[in-house]
Amino acid sequence: MAIQFKTVLVRLRRDRQLSQAQLAEQLYVSRQAISKWEQGENTPDLETLVKLAALFEVSLDELVLGEQGAETATTQSPASRTRAMNGWEFLSRYWWLVFGLLGMIGWLISVTR
């Protein structure tokens, strides 16, 4: 079960012995914003999440997903994180193969004539 952001935020803030007002001052937001994040009524934007992660010296994964989520994200094999490419993605990545393929087809046509 993933830990919610609000729980992680409260834990990290209390571990650093910061009040909501002190944290708000460091992030240039209101104390009410911190309170709403901790109650789960609202969530910070991406820029503020990055600032929070830097301030608490944790990864974004740990901040957003909790420790369990961070462990799961880092222990996944690369094969499980990838998805199959569609035809356009394949062509955009391997467009240079088209020249070799066309050259081989041209050579086969000229040999068979």
Buried residues in 58-84 as b, exposed as e (16+ CB within 10 A) = beebbbbbbeebbeeeeeeeeeeeeee
Quick: pLDDT tens for 55-110: 999 999 898 888 755 455 555 555 556 778 788 888 888 888 888 899 999 999 99
Token pair for 82:
């990838």
SS3 for 76?
coil
Whole-prediction pTM value?
Answer: 0.58
Write the DSSP symbol of residue 28.
T
**Every domain of the chain and the residues it spans:** 5-78, 86-112
Question: What's the CATH class of domain 5-78?
Answer: mainly alpha
- Please give the span between the terminal C-alpha atoms of the chain, in angstroms, as a whole number: 67
- 32 vs 77, higher pLDDT: 32
